[in-house]
A and B are shown apart, each in its own frame.
Chain A
Amino acid sequence: MDYVAPKTAMEASEALVQDGAFALAGGTDLLVKLKTKFISPNIVVDIKQVPKITSIEESMDGWWIGAATPCAEIVEHESLCQDWPGVVEALSLIGSTQIQGRATLGGNLCNASPAADSVPALIAANGTCVISGQTGEREEPIENIVISPGATVLAKGEFILGFKLPKPPSGSGDAYLRLIPRSEMDIAVVGVGTSVSVDKNKKITSIRISLGAIAPTQVILDGLEDIFIGKEPDEDSINKLVSLAESACRPIKDKRGTIEYRTKIAGVLAKRTLNIAYERATNH
């Protein structure tokens, strides 16, 4: 097994085109797969030295978070935490304190697990990602990346360079909650990311909710606008949200939860994340 650490995006893509090449960012998934012999790469391409891939930048347009930035660094970025508290909460839940020092958003997305914690929050935040390949860069909405458990749209030689999040308008808030049996060090049975914006009268102007671990890929809830736009959340709209979330579920039954349980929890977490996000939006 070879190891390379290219200094440019182009060199990285050229290395990744080779048969049996795997990209290494934080390695918190890759190394486990290596050790358990789930994969046997011919070449491991450490992409952390590519420019911009480990940086966090704020501009008029919004935020740039390098795909290989360790979660621990993101969590300590105060103004990003103020703008996107839900996204930061979500990524701070990945693994343990030690794992946080290595784990990355690029890795969490490309591992393509339905239960990835950061992904529903990034989708709810209307995030996009910049993909680097041999022919240059392209930008895609985050929800377009994962196509099935373990599989992404990334072509040979492509890797995620970084994530873009918009600058939230005033009166915005987001939230992420997951259900795990333990209190940490666990995998989401269900995860829900919610982002809302409100006007001066606390009426909702935009809303976006994404659910994880309840279908083969993350799900974006359709039909929220009809229920919430121009209104404050009330019992009726919350009940509709719960039904909408429950009916969006296409979960499997496995060792981590029954279909009934996952469906029920999707509704509960949709409700709870909306409450938190709305509270944050009205105080923003």
Chain B
Amino acid sequence: MNDMTQTNFERALKIVGSRPARPDGVDKVTGRALFGADKSLPNMLVGRVLRSPYAHAKILSIDTSKAEKLKGVKAIITSVDFEDFPSEFVPNGEMVVNMKDITRNVMAREKVLYVGHTVAAIAATDEDIAEQALALIDVKYEVLPHVLEVEDAEKSDAPLLHDDMMTIGVEPAPTSASNVAKRVEFGFGDVEKGFSEADLVVEREFTTQQVHQGYIEPHACLASVSEDGQAELWCTTQGPFVVRNFCSKLLGFNAAQIRVTASEIGGGFGGKTVVYLEPLALALSRKSCRPVKMEMNRAEVFTASGPTSGAKIWVKIGVKNNGQITAGDCILKYQAGAFQGAPVGPGAMCAFAPYDLTNVRAVGYDIVVNRPKVAAYRAPGGPISEYGVESVIDEIALKIGMDPIDLRLKNAAKEGTIAPYGPKLGPIGMIETLEAAKDHPHYSAPLGPNQARGVASGFWFNIGGETSSSITINEDGTVGLTLGTPDIGGSRASMAMMASEELGVPMELIKPIIGDTNSLGFNFLTGGSRATFSTGTTVVESTREAIGELKKRAALLWEVSLDQVEWVDGHARLISGDEPKTMSLAQIAKQAGKTGGPIMANCSMNVTGAGPSLGTHIVDVEVDKETGRVSIIRYTAIQDAGKAIHPAYVEGQLQGGAVQGIGWALNEEYIYNDKGELENTGFLDYRIPVCSDVPMIDTVIVEVPNPNHPYGVRGVGETPIIPPLAAISNAVSRATNKRFDELPLSPPKVLAKLMHG
């Protein structure tokens, strides 16, 4: 990919950068689009899950005999239906997974580790029978003490979730088990020396709560396994190939036996990158030889799918009076949930990444607690660590009397900066977003009483990864695109636009679809802000290959050599000759049969060279000092997109990320009682923002092209959830002259701080 010499940064673009309607739009607004729960088959059974009522308990026995005798019950599965795996860590995009843990999370084995942990599953002829059968399963538990918070879990006398878990990454290696799965450290230089050179050192502890992605569509799937072991699976997922691989490993299928088709997706945000119901439905279908459909309800989504970590963090930053940062240090303790794998690695890597530092250290701990196992959530780990750092930056700006954007500009990372996690950064847009923020009318607009303005920046890596897509030129001159990364943010439109730009045919003639796992080579999932970057790269490559083939066919028809044909505006054109000669794509396609057969091309590669995306947000808040209620008055999100293929969808990502960040900052939190039961298992008391909670989010797209993508794309989906947490906390701190260091900034918490300090 890096040999792709023809870049488009300077070229006049016709389609890329415009705002056409999305190809999937009509089906979405008319309700015709099929989501995870919308598929049905004849003779289908209903699958239901029996879940743990305890936060931590030994499973002594499971007796399913009574449930099996109930008329209408066709299959029951427990952990005996799944093979065990040795502990082995394998990378999965932005997270690391361990099959030993995954099989236990999908179906509890020795112990249940959180309320909602799956203990058994049933397939029955209808919902009522399935519910009755669940009540007939007799599980004997020995209840164990549980632990929910990292500061309790890391104590030496804490209840152990896994009695064989030894902390990785500490010297000397521990000899006894603990709930601390691993320690990570990134950085360079000498932070103590840096602090000694500082005129001002600010250090502070922060707390964030566990939050859920809050996708509106619950997990759902339909599995059908035939008598000869061929499996079909329809599900709502960010990665059908990843689902196939998880399920085939968990259930002993080979990859070719399971064909996974991704439905339309009603939000994922990282939460639909792992499997919950899918292996259960497949196992139940295999056992009953009938299709099995499973859906979570909202309470199951909250208790049994993967939110992101709550955390305790400590940040210390030293500066000179002129704003020069001399050292940055932080310790991050992230909840992993019941199994290790908190996103504390990426959290530590990006904590100080917006800045060009000489002395920097970030230490992270991955700590298991009796909560559901965390899954990815939009820039996993980033919002938490950067919230702490960006809050301290703001406090420093106030203390040294410097504008918070100027302070950031003074220390901004730029091309050539060594990132705290190691590599030398290519071109990035930190300075450009800060300057755009400073120039924006919002930044100098007057404020009303009890109002204040907050600013924060955010850094996210973005990824590439294994990607495969294909293009077909149809006989009537239309074009098919088969993509392997589910469309969770308008990517079908972006892919069709890039193909349209390359081919020179109208976007309306290009039909992009998401293929199933048998239609393409492996695709890593849609995540890590990689789809437009990675799949876009393969689409441009395969389109260029198709153009080469079209030129070849034209050369054949004209009986000239290939070098006499160029491709211009959807036509082959004869370069030399007495009179200008052109042939349209449709004319070539129509004659494909006599020039060598159908025209198609595909591109499969491990895409590298993703460009980090920087963002800076400005927020005005108003604080009701008698009630502690915080209102968001004005919000502007500024971000480097590299290149916005479809600016409206980039703006949508910026707005969506900002709104999720607003929810995280203001009201979202998992609330547990003393038994370890989640008390807010619905959207009434798990408060994601409603429309009237947020103003129209203004956006500014900055474009510092990523040299590793044919159009300069970076990936934009994750960065925008990072700045809101600190931006809002900084604004509330400035409005009240109190430094807030705990999320969410819910009315009771804000008022308590105002009353008691």
Contacts and interface: CB of A to CB of B under 8 A. Distances in A.
Interface in A109-138: none
Interface stretch (B15-23, B177-185, B688-696): B688-696
B29 interface: no
Interface residues of B, number: 23
Contact of A182 (B626, B627, B671, B690): B690
Interface string A234-262: 00000000000000000000111110110
A179 B684 contact: no
B689 A182 contact: yes
**Interface centre among B629, B667, B680, by most A CB within 10 Å?**
B629
A264 B751 contact: yes
Interface in B359-404: none
Interface in B672-715: 679-680, 684-685, 687, 689-690, 692-693
Interface string B746-757: 111001100100
A111 B747 CA distance: 27
Contacts of A256: 685
A268 B629 CA distance: 12
A149 interface: no
Given A184-B690, A184-B692, A255-B679, A265 B671 contact: no
B532 to A, nearest CB: 33
B209 to A, nearest CB: 12
A187 B755 CA distance: 24
A260 B752 contact: yes
Given A189-B747, A261-B751, A268 B627 contact: yes
A181 B690 contact: no
Contacts of B629: 179, 181
A187 B746 CA distance: 14
Nearest to A96: B690
Interface string A14-31: 000000000000000000
Q: Is the interface of B mostly helix, strand, loop or mixed?
A: loop
Interface residues of A, number: 19
Contacts of B748: 257-258, 261
B684 A265 contact: no
Nearest to A189: B747
Contacts, number: 48
B463 interface: no
A261 B667 contact: no
A185 interface: yes
B747 A182 contact: no
A179 B752 contact: no
A186 B626 contact: no
A181 B752 contact: no
Contact of B627 (A179, A183, A255): A179
Contacts of A184: 690, 692
Given A260-B752, A261-B752, A181 B626 contact: no
A181 B666 contact: yes
Contacts of A265: 627
A183 B690 CA distance: 8
A182 B693 contact: yes
A186 B684 contact: yes
A187 B684 contact: yes
Contacts of B679: 254-255
Interface in A19-65: none
Contacts of B755: 264
B538 to A, nearest CB: 42
A238 B629 CA distance: 22
Contacts of A181: 629, 666-667, 687, 746-747
Interface string A138-157: 00000000000000000000
B634 to A, nearest CB: 15
Interface string B715-757: 0000000000000000000000000000000111001100100
A114 to B, nearest CB: 15
Given A256-B685, A261-B752, A179 B747 contact: yes
Contacts of B747: 179, 181, 189, 257, 261
Contact of A268 (B626, B631, B684, B687): B626
A284 B364 CA distance: 64
Contacts of B751: 261, 264
B687 A182 contact: yes
Nearest to B299: A36
A258 B689 CA distance: 21
Contact of B687 (A186, A254, A257): A186
Interface in A186-201: 186-187, 189
B527 to A, nearest CB: 29
Contacts of B684: 186-187
Interface in B624-668: 626-629, 631, 666-667
A204 B139 CA distance: 66
Nearest to A35: B297
A255 B626 contact: no
Nearest to B682: A36
B273 to A, nearest CB: 29
A182 B680 contact: no
Nearest to B689: A182
B623 to A, nearest CB: 14
Contacts of B628: 261
A210 B46 CA distance: 49
A183 B685 contact: no
A258 B749 CA distance: 9
Nearest to A267: B626
A266 to B, nearest CB: 11
Contacts of B690: 182-185
10 nearest A-B residue pairs (beta carbon): A261-B748, A183-B692, A268-B626, A255-B671, A255-B679, A181-B667, A185-B690, A183-B693, A184-B692, A257-B748
25 contacts: A179-B629, A181-B629, A181-B687, A181-B746, A182-B689, A182-B692, A183-B692, A183-B693, A184-B690, A185-B690, A186-B684, A187-B684, A187-B685, A255-B679, A257-B747, A257-B748, A258-B748, A260-B752, A261-B747, A261-B748, A261-B751, A264-B751, A264-B755, A265-B627, A268-B627
